[in-house]
Structure 1
Amino acid sequence: MALMTVYHGGYMAVKQPEIRKGRNIKDFGTGFYCTVIKEQAQRWARRYDTKVVSIYEVRLRPTLKIKEFKDMTNEWLNFIIACRSGIPHDFDIVIGAMADDQIYNYISDYMEGTITSEQFWVMAKFKYPTYQINFCTQKALKCLQYRDYEEVK
């Protein structure tokens, strides 16, 4: 597979990525989240006092079990609902759009039955593009090669 550059936004350079189980359940479950969109990683880093974007080169291995959502679909929505509900999956890597805070509010409304699936899609389709890659297993983390970091101003 082709070599690509990915970015991870945080409060320090991460030379040795790890999978840490946090109290917050994320879109694609537990893992190490990156993006190919540098500006998005910078937005992630701006949540912290010290703002750092780590840069990696990645070559995805064909032996990995990869789930890619090319579009925001009902399958993507149901996968995020399952992950955010704590239901595990068996993928090494999951790739797709990110449900930011606003979209997740719509997902919560949909889960509670406040809005229909059709209403969710009308509200969600106007968001700016996002992209996330979750490295979910130790095997997946071996695809990442740390290159450098940048401080975000």
Structure 2
Amino acid sequence: MILYHGSADIVEYPEVRKAKYNKDFYYGFYCTQYLKQAERWATRYGKKGYINKYEYISNPDLNCLVFEKMTEEWLDFIVACRQGISHQYDIVEGPMADDTIYNYIQNFIDGKISREAFWELVKFKYPTHQISFHSISALDTLKFIGSEAVYGNKK
């Protein structure tokens, strides 16, 4: 399987890094199957970025969690991760809570909308995909193929 990672840098050797904010599936190295999504990640600040390309070879010995679609379990998992609760998975894969969906999640966490309202709001969102790598063994499933420069359009 080919995966993409959008970044401001060429990332030949992926790393798991702690970030300022917790992400959907907690701290990890994030990729996607969708080239356009990686391009959005790479150019999100309106500057030159890179789409890094990897061959992913799954390892059945790793502890993986896969969400085929947005479900109650997916929502609860993202809420926990965004609140700083870690997990023991090597790899987590599933839909991405983009900026709009993240706002809905935050409203749900804050009690501003119900669980039912959350599902009503997200049902028309376009498909997204992310796969996050949370351990050295998980990163070993990725083989760097190359990168391509892409350019943002913000001034």
TM-score between both structures, scaled by the size of structure 2: 0.95
Corresponding residue for 1:11?
8
> Is structure 2 residue 75 aligned with structure 1 residue 81?
no
Inter-partner Cα distance in structure 1 for 2:134 and 2:48: 26
Match of 1:29 in 2: 26
Structure 1 residues 30-109: aligned runs within 5 Å: 30-48=27-45, 49-109=47-107
Deviates more, 1:106-115 or 1:54-63: 106-115
Separation of aligned partners in 1, 2:104 and 2:48: 31
Aligned AA for 2:38? A
- The answer as to whether partners of 1:12 and 1:50 remain within 8 angstroms in 2 is no
Q: Cα deviation per residue 1:71-103 (whole Å; 9 max; x = unaligned)? A: 100100000000000000000000000001110
- 2:113 aligns with 115
The structure 1 residue matched to 2:142, chosen from 134, 141, 144, is 144
TM-score w.r.t. the length of structure 1 is 0.96
5+ residue gaps, structure 1, are none
Runs of 4+ residues deviating >6 angstroms = none
Question: Where does the alignment leave 5 or more consecutive residues of structure 2 unmatched?
Answer: none
RMSD value over aligned CA atoms?
A: 0.8
SS class of match (1:118): helix
Cα displacement (A) at 1:12: 1.3
Measure how far apart 1:26 and its partner are: 0.1
CA displacement at 1:50 relative to structure 2 = 2.1
How far off is 1:125 after superposition? 1.0
Question: How far does residue 152 in structure 1 lie from its aligned partner after superposition?
Answer: 1.2
Q: Size of the alignment, in residue pairs?
A: 150
Question: Percent same amino acid among aligned pairs?
Answer: 49
